[in-house]
Amino acid sequence: MALHPMQASNVDRGLLLQRYQYVRDFSMQLVEPLSAEDCQIQSMPDTSPTKWHLAHVTWFFETFILVEFLQGYQRLNEEFHYLYNSYYNGAGKQYARPKRGMVTRPSLAQIMEYRLYVDKYMEIILADENHPQAEKIAFLAEIGTHHEQQHQELLLTDIKHGLSKNAINAVYLPRKPEMRVNAPALEWVNFAEGIYEIGHDTLKADAGYAFDNEGPRHKIWLNNFQLASRTVTNEEYLAFMEDGGYQNHDLWLSEGWYFLAHNKRKHPAYWQKRDGAWYQYTLAGWLPLNLAEPVTHINFYEAQAYALWAGARLPTEAEWEVAADDFKAEDVPTLGRYHPNVAQESQGQANSKLLQMIGEVWEWTLSSYAPYPNFAPLEGVVGEYNGKFMCNQYVLRGGSCVTPAQHIRITYRNFFPTAIDWQFTGIRLARNV
């Protein structure tokens, strides 16, 4: 949500307006295939309506930039302030989260107007280089674009959840069939014990943007370990299931075993068996399960149980970050597939045998989400975000097939509770040596 003040100077002011327009426009593209009704629903308390995402990210720019710094700015509608605040207690009262799906008014059309209204004024203020607070505005505007990119991912995962509730096979976008049916063999890559550094280095000149929870950069000690060369495939996960994985309590955390019983869970989310064959709900509708693709929509309990069954464990977030160190921006796959790809040799990052580290599935780690040593949240209301959730959530790394490419970086710490499975989550194994 927030970055450290000293980073503001990193923002290239000339490029910011361009970035703003790019990000705003991308949200519009994402909504293209949806009807007003699709955009209305909230299929569980954890998700939000598409409409709400579109309005909330706009409210962010309005509230933290326009209202604060654009003289004479009038909110388009005072009630939107109440409706589209999310968890920023400091920014005022909030509409109850689980009831977002009940807000039929304003309509989708009105929210589109709201976006245009705010864009108009944002373009004015971003173009005003002589604004006495130009630096602070730039700083907040960059946060706002990263914030909107976060919501672009959520918009896709939430609408996937919503559309999946239709009895009819609901397609977000059709998808070209995946031709590859074999993943490369899983290999183990070695890493040596020692003192390493992880986290975002806010003091480095070209460090780029990062949220507050990614820093400060700090030392850690790692023992020898190994990381799997790619993520676990549907085929491998099926072998676990067919070996009685969901019936064997020895493999499960106590909470996970209870989760299985309570939810009668016997396979990953979005899977369904019809006449003996497995199908998977995707943003392209129900499709036969491709065995070579990465297993996804796995919760933490399932990831742990699978790892134990496979004689391995999940990596810590420090291990993952140390291993991903040679990742380059150009390695990020383009968004638009909306589903993780089959691994391929050529896909790897330079100087590494590790495939699929980036932009396929969020990889569960063994690390509970906690502050880094000497972590300090960003000051003010925009700093409310990350620190408040450092409890009973686990860190996921690497970005997924629905994460906007520019929003992926190796220090990025995503986090979710153990039971969630509507994100594009997956498994990379680690081992002691």
- Residues that bind a copy of itself in the complex, under the rule CB under 8 A: 35-41, 43, 51, 79, 82-83, 87, 89-90, 95, 99, 101-108, 162-163, 165-168, 170, 195, 218-221, 223, 249-250, 252-256, 300-301, 304, 313, 366-368, 370-371, 373-374, 384, 388-392, 418, 432
User: Of the two residues 110 and 406, which places its CB atom closer to a copy of itself in the complex?
Assistant: 110
User: Of the two residues 140 and 198, which places its CB atom closer to a copy of itself in the complex?
Assistant: 198
Of the candidates 433, 413, 421, 384, the one whose C-alpha atom is nearest the C-alpha of residue 87 is 384
Task: Kindly give the pairing relationship between strand 225-228 and strand 430-432.
Answer: antiparallel
CB of 19 to a copy of itself, least distance (A): 29
CB of 43 to a copy of itself, least distance (A): 6
| Sheet of 277-282, strand order | 271-274, 277-282, 285-288
CA dist 336 → 25, 359, 403 (Å): 15, 11, 10
CB of 90 to a copy of itself, least distance (A): 7
Helix 13-31 vs helix 134-164: angle between axes, to the nearest 10 degrees? 20
User: Of the two residues 204 and 219, which places its CB atom closer to a copy of itself in the complex?
Assistant: 219
User: Of the two residues 70 and 287, which places its CB atom closer to a copy of itself in the complex?
Assistant: 287
User: Of the two residues 7 and 40, which places its CB atom closer to a copy of itself in the complex?
Assistant: 40
Cβ atoms 409, 210 nearer than 8 A: yes
CA–centroid distance for 206 within its chain: 24
Q: What is the CB-side half-sphere exposure of residue 292 using CA atoms within 13 A? A: 13
CB of 34 to a copy of itself, least distance (A): 9
Q: How far apart are CA 340 and CA 356, in angstroms?
A: 9
CB of 197 to a copy of itself, least distance (A): 10
Q: Provide the residue type at 285 as one letter.
A: G
Helix 108-127 vs helix 134-164: angle between axes, to the nearest 10 degrees? 160
Q: How far apart are CA 118 and CA 126, in angstroms?
A: 12
User: Of the two residues 234 and 423, which places its CB atom closer to a copy of itself in the complex?
Assistant: 423
CB of 167 to a copy of itself, least distance (A): 6
